[in-house]
């Protein structure tokens, strides 16, 4: 039976993909991806020859119905992102919603995502947490942080390495310099690193050392 598969892909190490994910990709009529060049490297590495279609935030509004038509006609389609699980701070929601509205089966495979290992390795409570993804870059950024000031659950954020220090400084201004936090970068890659401590400590560390790679910030809740 045809369906839409959401297939997680490695966030760094190309070995971090399940056998089932490889089988599903091999059996797909089409694989939707953000960047065909990036995904092409992964597929070539694993010998997968299914055709790649570009599906990203700039064209997804225009292509979801066409893709849903193909699935409804009997084709199995897989959606992947450049890294991690589709729909988590990446395209996917619109296509999933369209398929559900049209009665098309949707299945998400388990697999890699950056925030889970960062959260678990942070040393902060992970029995209850909230995932905020990327905060607004400019307008509404401080307002959103202020809205989280009294949050008692652990908070998880994605951030660009170029804005990390500024984000930590904004957290310190609103939440206090002694709030516990951790920063994980380059998860699963050769230079993977997790730095833990107070916001003050993290600010000093990354001001001194600099920042490279994809970043996940985990901040303790208010106690």
Domains in the chain, please, with CATH? 4-108 (3.40.1010.10), 115-219 (3.30.950.10)
pLDDT tens series, the chain, 223 aa: 699 999 999 999 999 999 999 999 999 999 999 999 999 999 999 999 999 999 988 888 899 999 999 999 999 999 999 999 999 988 899 999 999 999 999 999 999 999 999 999 999 999 999 999 999 988 899 999 999 999 999 999 999 999 999 999 999 999 999 999 999 999 999 999 999 999 999 999 999 998 988 899 999 999 8
pTM (2 decimals)?
Answer: 0.92
Among positive and negative, which fits the CA dihedral 223, 119, 214, 180?
A: positive
Residue 89 dihedral angles phi and psi, to the nearest 5°:
60, 25
DSSP tag of 195: E
* CB 39 within 8 Å of CB 26: no
Displacement of CA 208 from its chain's centroid (Å): 27
* CB 180 within 8 Å of CB 3: no
Among positive and negative, which fits the CA dihedral 167, 169, 171, 174?
A: negative
Quote the tokens at residue 76. Answer: 């199995």
């Amino acid at each position: 039976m045809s369906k839409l598969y959401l297939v997680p892909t490695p966030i760094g190490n190309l070995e971090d993909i399940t056998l089932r994910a490889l089988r599903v990709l091999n059996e797909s009529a089409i694989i939707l991806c953000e960047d065909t060049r990036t995904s092409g490297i992964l597929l070539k590495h694993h010998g997968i020859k299914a055709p790649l279609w570009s599906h990203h935030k700039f064209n997804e509004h225009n292509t979801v119905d066409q893709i849903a038509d193909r699935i409804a006609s009997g084709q199995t389609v897989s959606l992947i992102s450049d890294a991690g699980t589709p729909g988590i701070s990446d395209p996917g929601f619109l296509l999933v919603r369209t398929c559900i509205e049209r009665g098309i089966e949707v299945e998400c495979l388990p697999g890699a995502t950056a925030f889970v290992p960062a959260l678990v390795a942070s040393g902060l409570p992970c029995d209850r947490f909230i995932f905020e993804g990327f905060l607004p870059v400019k307008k509404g950024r401080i307002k959103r942080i202020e809205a989280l000031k009294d949050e008692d659950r652990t908070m998880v954020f994605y951030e660009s390495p170029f804005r990390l220090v500024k984000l930590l400084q904004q957290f310190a201004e609103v939440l206090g310099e002694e709030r516990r936090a951790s920063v994980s970068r380059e998860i699963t890659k050769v230079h993977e690193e997790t730095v833990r401590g107070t916001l003050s400590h993290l600010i000093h560390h990354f001001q001194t050392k600099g920042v490279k790679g994809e970043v996940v910030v985990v901040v303790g809740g208010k106690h």
